[in-house]
């Protein structure tokens, strides 16, 4: 590995942190390696790079990476760490001898935009020295690409082919403080890899609050410490900070707790609008309901006020918005890959009312005021019932800080917190519960199994999930025939299911479809289930959408078929997907056809893409590609082979469409977006449950209960008509 440290230059001073980590104390003189014009950058780009706060830490970062196995960068937003550190490593020789520098991101959009920025700064063509990989898109050239950006999910998949990630010399895990499942799994696996590959260097970037828990995770345990402490690289993690370039944001708290955060948010916006200088407002609420209600209230207030309070442009923002609605917020020239927000028209003030999507996933320009309700919707998992609930819960200090920071991107801003300072200081949790501890773990466990991690319960996680959740995941995988009695992956089923990039239950249905002669159909269904929705949502046109959907609900449909009663022939949402897909293909993949039928054209393009990828995977695994034509029974049976644990039976003698799960006798209802809503067949299996005030089954298909015993005899026993037991 190339050395970068120039003898004779001043060494940074290092001190022991009180927790045993190494803290870097930077000297006041900034780094002065400004003689790199040999690379032929445009001068202004070079100047911009040098003005970034992280530039002052360049030598120190390189020193730490050279000498410490793990370096934790505490970087505020705007420090430039993501774009600059990979370049420093490249300049420092870490990509010599065919090695690659990796930088992971939690989101695809970030991967793409950061990679193209870095390619531009380095003056190279994207996909050559600098490249990126996300699902469906490998923009790298093996042997040429030296700096590679990728999602952490892709890095996990790469480990299945190359468990030691041997081509990488340095792996930078960015945004680790978000603690997503895949980031946490990556961190756990990288820690293991480090023991086998001492030459591998890790850089973990994190916001302030999470840095210590991540550092303590990477601190070697006593039994691994011992004698070799002086060898390079040192095993103790080093911590260094790079300040951000954001502007200061003044924080305002309410004096007394508010009873109704929605009403409080609306009045706060009006107050800002009346009293504060120009600048857009971003309001954080919890979900679509809240947001639409607040938007309506604001519009009413703005209209009823006198002229001086006019000029409010109220814009709801959540991921379920249609393209048409998004276009009101985004400028017309943007593509999905390039979410640049349009400037506010003169004399107008934008009020963007948003879910958490604006906390991390989208960056809005021009925000000067933030209103923070203190709540967000969060998923919580109950391993006993195996149900994920979506509930409104208080956010963490880390989130509150992130939300406030959204006000300081263009100039000093203000944040209005709809909770008291006393609450913030004394009661708000410092950090959120990692996603890993709030989720069903089947996908996660099967990936670890595929990587040869046998002892799941003893795995060294950054945040251990409850034993109950892990045991539940093992149990489900066992019932799918993916794990054997020794909790090892079965062959070939277990390895095949792990290989398919879908939830294990859906992968299992995919395998079953090969045997039942309907794999072509299952590919379509799996692809359709992997997009958020294949339907467009237009507020106020719900009825037309429902009608459009029912036109596709029959087992067979002709394009000219009139609207008919679906009561007798509808077999469920999965079959409906097949009809939409068929219609889409027959139209020549026409966007006009989509529009006419309330089908989301962009979603359908994604379905095509996902289907192609799954088809390649299926071929590789030797799944026989075959269409069952009109035999929907084969399709429904294949679905049952994966989702038998989600079987439900309608409650007789009630007229409210109440179902009971076979497994736990839980009350569940068919989601109003399902084509089986109000149809209420006797037996169904569902794809997922969304649990709000009631438990709603989303994407439901009718079944014959006899199939349950047929496809999962180890799970169900038939005990006479209408009686089925586990």
Partner DNA sequence: TAACAGTCG
Asked if 672 touches DNA (CB under 7 A), the answer is: yes
Q: Name the residue nearer to DNA (CB basis): 154 or 594.
A: 154
Structure tokens at 641: 């082979």
Task: Pick the stretch among 151-159, 191-199, 308-316, 587-595 that binds DNA (CB under 7 A).
Answer: 151-159
d(CA 147, CA 144): 9
Torsion angle, CA of 158/160/164/167, rounded to 10 degrees? Answer: -30
Choose which of 21, 75, 153, 316 interacts with DNA (CB under 7 A).
153
Backbone phi, psi, residue 516, to 5°: -95, 5
Asked if 542 touches DNA (CB under 7 A), the answer is: yes
Asked if 421 touches DNA (CB under 7 A), the answer is: no
Q: Name the residue nearer to DNA (CB basis): 51 or 694.
A: 694
Q: How many angstroms separate the first and last alpha carbons of the chain?
A: 58
Task: Pick the stretch among 18-26, 483-491, 640-648, 693-701 that binds DNA (CB under 7 A).
Answer: 693-701
Are 703 and 685 in contact by the 8 Å Cβ rule? The answer is yes
DSSP collapsed to 3 states, 414-470:
EEEECCCHHHHHHCCCCCCCCHHHHCCCHHHHHHHHHCCCCCCCCCCCCCCCCHHHH
Choose which of 26, 48, 107, 453 interacts with DNA (CB under 7 A).
107
Task: Pick the stretch among 18-26, 65-73, 298-306, 316-324 that binds DNA (CB under 7 A).
Answer: 316-324
d(CA 413, CA 79): 18
Restricting to residues 436-475, which ones interact with DNA according to CB under 7 A?
443
Q: Name the residue nearer to DNA (CB basis): 121 or 503.
A: 503
Asked if 320 touches DNA (CB under 7 A), the answer is: yes
Backbone phi, psi, residue 364, to 5°: -100, 135
Task: Pick the stretch among 480-488, 559-567, 570-578, 668-676 that binds DNA (CB under 7 A).
Answer: 668-676
Asked if 403 touches DNA (CB under 7 A), the answer is: no
d(CA 704, CA 647): 10
At its nearest, how many Å lie between DNA and the CB of residue 357?
A: 4
Which DSSP letter does residue 483 get? B
At its nearest, how many Å lie between DNA and the CB of residue 481?
A: 17
Asked if 435 touches DNA (CB under 7 A), the answer is: yes
At its nearest, how many Å lie between DNA and the CB of residue 392?
A: 9
Nearest one of 106, 112, 183, 103 to 149, comparing CA atoms: 103
Q: Helix or strand or coil: residue 305?
A: coil
Using CB atoms within 10 A of its CB, is residue 530 exposed (0-12), middle (13-18) or buried (19+)?
Answer: middle
- Listed in sequence order, the residues at least 6 apart from 690 whose beta carbon sits closer than 8 Å to its beta carbon are 390, 671, 696, 698
Site string for DNA, 343-382 (x = CB under 7 A): ------------xxx---x--------------xxxx---
Choose which of 289, 300, 547, 629 interacts with DNA (CB under 7 A).
289
At its nearest, how many Å lie between DNA and the CB of residue 78?
A: 21
Torsion angle, CA of 399/404/410/411, rounded to 10 degrees? Answer: -150
At its nearest, how many Å lie between DNA and the CB of residue 81?
A: 20
Q: Name the residue nearer to DNA (CB basis): 213 or 361.
A: 361
Q: Name the residue nearer to DNA (CB basis): 168 or 716.
A: 168
Beta-ladder partners of 725: 717
Asked if 680 touches DNA (CB under 7 A), the answer is: yes
Task: Pick the stretch among 168-176, 203-211, 246-254, 669-677 that binds DNA (CB under 7 A).
Answer: 669-677
Task: Pick the stretch among 293-301, 365-373, 477-485, 686-694 that binds DNA (CB under 7 A).
Answer: 686-694
At its nearest, how many Å lie between DNA and the CB of residue 542?
A: 5
Task: Pick the stretch among 167-175, 242-250, 313-321, 586-594 that binds DNA (CB under 7 A).
Answer: 313-321
Asked if 104 touches DNA (CB under 7 A), the answer is: no
At its nearest, how many Å lie between DNA and the CB of residue 717?
A: 30
Asked if 113 touches DNA (CB under 7 A), the answer is: no
Restricting to residues 486-525, which ones interact with DNA according to CB under 7 A?
501-503
Are 674 and 441 in contact by the 8 Å Cβ rule? The answer is no
- Listed in sequence order, the residues at least 6 apart from 124 whose beta carbon sits closer than 8 Å to its beta carbon are 130
Site string for DNA, 546-585 (x = CB under 7 A): x---------------------------------------
Are 369 and 407 in contact by the 8 Å Cβ rule? The answer is yes
d(CA 46, CA 43): 5
DSSP string across 353-408: EE-THHHHT---TTEEEEEE-SEEEEEEEETTTTEEEEEEEEPPHHHHHHHHHTT-
Choose which of 656, 714, 721, 725 interacts with DNA (CB under 7 A).
656
Residues that bind DNA (CB under 7 A): 106-109, 134-135, 151, 153-154, 157, 180, 182, 286-289, 318-320, 355-357, 361, 376-379, 390, 435, 443, 501-503, 530, 532, 537, 542, 546, 656-657, 669, 671-673, 677-678, 680, 690, 692-694, 696
């Amino acid at each position: 590995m190339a050395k970068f440290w120039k003898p004779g230059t001043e060494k940074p001073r290092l001190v022991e942190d009180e927790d045993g980590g190494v803290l870097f104390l930077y000297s006041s003189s900034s780094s002065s390696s400004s003689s790199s014009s040999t690379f032929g950058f445009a001068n202004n780009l070079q100047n911009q790079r040098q003005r970034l706060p992280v530039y002052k830490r360049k030598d120190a970062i390189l020193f730490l990476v050279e000498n410490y196995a793990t370096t934790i960068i505490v970087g505020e937003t705007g420090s430039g760490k993501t774009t600059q550190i990979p370049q420093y490593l490249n300049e420092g020789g870490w990509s010599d001898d065919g090695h690659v520098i990796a930088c992971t991101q939690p989101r695809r959009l970030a991967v793409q935009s950061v990679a193209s920025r870095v390619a531009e700064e380095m003056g190279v063509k994207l996909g050559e020295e600098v490249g990126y990989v996300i699902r469906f898109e490998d923009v790298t050239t093996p042997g040429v690409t030296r700096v590679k950006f990728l999602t952490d999910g892709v890095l996990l998949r790469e480990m299945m082919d190359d468990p030691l990630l041997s081509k990488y010399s340095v792996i930078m895990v960015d945004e680790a403080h978000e603690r997503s499942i895949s980031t946490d799994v990556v961190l756990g696996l990288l820690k293991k890899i480090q023991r086998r590959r001492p030459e591998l260097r890790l850089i973990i970037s994190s916001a302030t609050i999470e840095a210590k828990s991540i550092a303590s995770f990477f601190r070697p345990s006593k039994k691994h410490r011992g004698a070799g402490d002086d060898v390079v690289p040192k095993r103790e993690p080093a911590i260094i900070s790079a300040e951000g370039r954001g502007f200061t944001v003044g924080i305002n708290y309410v004096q007394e707790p508010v009873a109704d955060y929605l009403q409080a948010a609306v009045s706060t916006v009006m107050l800002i609008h009346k009293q504060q200088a120009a600048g857009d407002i971003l309001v954080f609420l919890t979900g679509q309901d809240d947001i639409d209600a607040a938007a309506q209230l604001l519009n009413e207030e703005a209209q009823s006020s006198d002229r001086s309070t006019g000029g409010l442009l109220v814009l709801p923002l959540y991921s379920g918005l249609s393209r048409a609605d998004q276009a009101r917020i985004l400028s017309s020239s943007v593509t999905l890959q390039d979410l640049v927000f349009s400037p506010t028209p003169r004399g107008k003030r934008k009020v963007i009312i948003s879910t958490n999507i604006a906390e991390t996933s989208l960056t809005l320009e021009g925000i000067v005021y933030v209103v923070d309700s203190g709540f967000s919707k969060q998923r919580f998992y109950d391993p006993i019932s195996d149900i994920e609930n979506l509930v409104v819960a208080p956010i963490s200090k880390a989130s509150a800080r992130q939300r406030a920071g959204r006000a300081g991107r263009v100039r000093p801003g203000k944040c209005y917190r709809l909770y008291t300072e006393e609450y913030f200081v004394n009661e708000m949790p410092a950090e959120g519960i990692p996603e890993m501890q709030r989720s069903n773990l089947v996908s996660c466990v099967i990936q670890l199994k595929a990587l040869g991690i046998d002892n799941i319960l003893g795995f060294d996680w950054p945040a251990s999930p409850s034993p109950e959740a892990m045991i539940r995941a093992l149990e489900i995988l066992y019932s799918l025939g993916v794990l054997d009695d020794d909790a090892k992956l079965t062959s070939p089923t277990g390895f095949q299911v792990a290989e398919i990039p879908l939830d294990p239950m859906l992968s299992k249905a995919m395998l079953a479809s090969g045997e039942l002669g309907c794999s072509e159909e299952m590919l379509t269904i799996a692809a359709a289930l992997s997009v958020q929705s294949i339907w467009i949502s237009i507020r106020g046109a719900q009825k037309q959408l429902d009608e459009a959907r029912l036109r596709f609900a029959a087992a067979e449909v002709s394009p000219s078929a009139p609207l008919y009663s679906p009561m007798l022939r509808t077999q469920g949402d999965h079959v409906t997907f097949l009809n939409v897909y068929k219609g889409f293909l027959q139209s020549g993949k026409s966007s006009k056809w989509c529009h006419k039928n309330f089908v989301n054209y962009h979603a359908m393009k994604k379905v095509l893409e996902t289907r192609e990828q799954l088809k390649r995977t299926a071929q590789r695994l030797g799944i026989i590609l075959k269409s069952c034509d009109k035999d929907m029974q084969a399709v429904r049976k294949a679905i049952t082979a994966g989702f038998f644990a989600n079987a439900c039976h309608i409650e007789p003698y009630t007229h409210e469409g109440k179902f009971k799960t076979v497994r736990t006798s839980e009350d569940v209802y068919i989601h109003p977006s399902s084509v089986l809503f109000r149809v209420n067949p006797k037996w169904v299996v569902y794809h997922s449950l969304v649990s709000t005030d009631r438990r709603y089954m989303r994407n439901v298909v009718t079944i014959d209960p006899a199939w349950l015993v047929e496809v999962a005899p180890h799970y169900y026993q038939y005990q006479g008509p209408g009686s089925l037991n586990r």
